Amino acid sequence: MATELLGYARLIADYNLNALPLMEYSLIDSAVKGRGHRAKNGQTVLHFSSHYAHDNSLTKHLQFALKYEGVNLYILSLLFAQPIQANLESWIRTSPASSYARRICFLYEWITNRKLANDFSVPKPERYVNVADGKLQFVLPVGEKDLRFRVLNNLPGTAEFCPMVRKTEYLQSMVAEDLRAQVIATVANYDQDLLKRAANFLYLKETQSSFEVEREKPSPNKAQRFADMLKQANPKVPLTERRFIELQNITIDPRFREFSWRSHQNWVGKDHGYRQQIDFVPPRPEDVSHLMNGLIETVSKIATTPATGSDTSDVYDPVILSAAVSFGFVFIHPFMDGNGRIHRYLIHDVLARTGFTPRGIILPVSAVIVANLDEYIDVLETFSHPMRDISDYDPNVPTSPATGNDPECFRFFDATPQAEFLYHALKRTLEEDLPKEIEFLLGFDRAYSSLNQLMDWAPHNLELFIQVVHQHAGTLSLTKRKSHFDWMSDVEIKEAELAVRQAFDLET
């Protein structure tokens, strides 16, 4: 079976680019008729028959890549650092009507901030073409016109931060399900007073789960600060450096508060005393400001016009944006401490800004993260492990600069795995966790009413009885009876247990 690399994979090989592994790559496969794809070692391999073979030139591989693989800003940024400017100028000069030449030349100037020669002219009758193909990747529904190359810049970000997400079968199916409409429909089934109470439970649950992800049991004050921060996810408050600093100060111990983006190289891993195990090296401190400015501008650019009706075709998908921004933040790691919690906060912040979640309602996705911690770690490691393999840093010499952790890796990462994980978490939260929490409150209200009519209770005892009996599948444990309810008779306990079981429809 004869095979030959195509597109971005061939460009990496031909130009000896020191690139992270591609999540998707193409090759000619003589055993294939037409086209096909398959998963292999965590990558998607696109197979093409020999009919798709072409001459081995820079322009042909770029054209193939745009047509079948989409816009890979990361690989293009590495390629554009090579001495190929003359090749691109010759391409646009000889083929000014080519949509592929126009798109690539636009991307060259957009990524590098360097101008190509002006001795070409795109024919005025040529229609504007999108820079990125919306059939292959998630893009802005309306692009900004570029008169020079007659293209529409529909990239979902800036030249300082623009993760791309591929339109996998799973993501397309999730977008078609319209989870936002399901959130609105679910919320509409309950009265506002109940929803306000449910929201308080959900904020608490998200707080507890977010700390549990890091295997930490917070003090009541620390937990309350985080819950209050979640409640402050307000679309009207812009994300700025000052806002991020406020968030960092809220989430951690006052002794470790920071007052700007980090100015030192940090790393993620374990310190065994005699040696350090480095799992991930974030970008160098001098690159953090540019990356975070790009992230902030991307949120401002996309999330300023949230969907208000049932038709969301004219907006960028909010879950895709939330994944790109929240995971992009934790990869950049702009602070020395508190990055993980702010990362999980950003999921809710962006969903609120885009109108995905109604004001005052939160979807406790961290509970799903805790329940699927291995999957969460895997989706982080799809980025961190390849970065670890190309990075080098010695924590024992903190003043020495890290290498390999170049800004392009964080600026233009493929956020497809992160988007798929977040969609999975939100679907599970919406279909299971949110209804479960609201039904618990309804059962709690029924139990409270029944028990209150049954007997007089000391302050807080009634609520505690409901909680411990519900947690113990409808019965009061001997330990809890001795510690809190030794004043109740056997008959009273049996009657109260029955009332709780009936209120929550628990089986005996």
Q: Which residues pair with 392 in a beta bridge?
A: 403
The residue ranking higher by pLDDT, 111 or 211, is: 111
Q: Which residues pair with 276 in a beta bridge?
A: 271
Lowest mean pLDDT among 193-207, 230-244, 300-314, 370-384: 300-314
- Residue 308: the pLDDT is 45
| Residue 37 pLDDT greater than 60, yes or no | yes
Q: How many CB atoms lie within 10 A of CB 270?
A: 10
Measure Cα distances from 103 to 9, 294, 445, 498 in Å: 19, 22, 61, 70
- Residue 373: the pLDDT is 84
CA-based nearest residue to 412, from 19, 80, 73, 8:
73
Lowest mean pLDDT among 62-66, 133-137, 343-347: 343-347
Structure tokens at 263: 């100015």
- Residue 250: the pLDDT is 83
DSSP letter for each residue of 317-374: -HHHHHHHHHHHHHHH--SSS-HHHHHHHHHHHHHHHTTSS-TT----HHHHHHHTHH
Q: Are strands 129-130 and 35-40 parallel, antiparallel or unpaired?
A: unpaired
Q: How far apart are the C-alpha atoms of 62 and 294, rounded to whole Å?
A: 26
Taking domain 169-431, whether its CATH number is 3.50.50.60 is answered by: no
Predicted model pTM: 0.88
- Residue 200: the pLDDT is 66
- Residue 131: the pLDDT is 98
Q: Is residue 183 within 8 Å of residue 438, measured between CB atoms?
A: no
Residue 208 binned pLDDT confidence (cut-offs 50, 70, 90): low
| Residue 438 pLDDT greater than 70, yes or no | yes
| Residue 272 pLDDT greater than 70, yes or no | no
Structure tokens at 127: 């229609």
CA-based nearest residue to 52, from 75, 23, 30:
30
Q: Cα torsion at 313, 315, 318, 319 (round to 10°)? A: 40
| Residue 91 pLDDT greater than 70, yes or no | yes
Q: Cα torsion at 433, 439, 444, 449 (round to 10°)? A: 170
pLDDT tens, position by position, 73-90: 999 999 999 999 999 999
| Residue 271 pLDDT greater than 60, yes or no | yes
Percent residues over pLDDT 70 in the chain: 89
For the chain, domain boundaries: 1-67, 83-155, 169-431, 455-504
Mean pLDDT (the chain, rounded)? 88
Q: How many CB atoms lie within 10 A of CB 416?
A: 25
Lowest mean pLDDT among 55-59, 414-418, 431-435, 474-478: 431-435
- Residue 205: the pLDDT is 66
CA-based nearest residue to 101, from 59, 61, 136, 65:
59
For the segment 122-144, the average pLDDT, to the nearest whole number, is 94
pLDDT tens, position by position, 172-188: 999 999 999 988 888 77
The residue ranking higher by pLDDT, 476 or 216, is: 476
For the segment 305-334, the average pLDDT, to the nearest whole number, is 80
| Strands (E) located in 120-167 | 129-130, 144-146, 151-153
- Residue 372: the pLDDT is 83
Q: How far apart are the C-alpha atoms of 131 and 136, rounded to whole Å?
A: 12
pLDDT tens, position by position, 254-264: 888 899 999 99
| Residue 159 pLDDT greater than 70, yes or no | yes
